[in-house]
Amino acid sequence: GNSGLKPKDNEFTSKPWHWPINYQVVWWLNLLSIALYLLSGSIIAVAMQRGARLPAEVA
């Protein structure tokens, strides 16, 4: 069966602190980028509703 897929107790297994990039840093940076994207989209939407002239690259 699949018994060979499980690492044995004496074998080295990967722990999160052995990984090259801390997953918590990646998580918070991802959350921050999503929040900034939504915030900038909201600001642009409100500005367009108020009739503000935006550069052609944005609108």
Residue 42 lies in a domain: yes
Exposure pattern of 18-44 as b/e (b: 16+ CB <10 Å)?
eeeeeeeeeeeeeeeeeeeeeeeeeee
- Among the residue ranges 2-6, 38-42, 52-56, the one predicted with the least confidence is 2-6
- Among the residue ranges 13-17, 26-30, 47-51, the one predicted with the least confidence is 13-17
Residue 59 lies in a domain: yes
Residue 6 lies in a domain: no
Cα R_g (the chain), whole angstroms = 23
Q: Note the pLDDT of residue 24.
A: 82
Per-residue pLDDT at 52 exceeds 90: no
Q: Note the pLDDT of residue 11.
A: 63
Q: Note the pLDDT of residue 51.
A: 87
Residue 12 lies in a domain: no
pTM of structure: 0.53
Size (the chain), residues: 59
Q: Note the pLDDT of residue 20.
A: 73
Structurally, how many domains does the chain consist of? Answer: 1
51: left (phi > 0), else alpha (psi -120 to 50), else beta?
left
- Full residue range of the structural domain in which residue 43 is found: 22-59
Taking a C-beta distance cutoff of 8 angstroms, is the pair 59, 48 a contact? yes
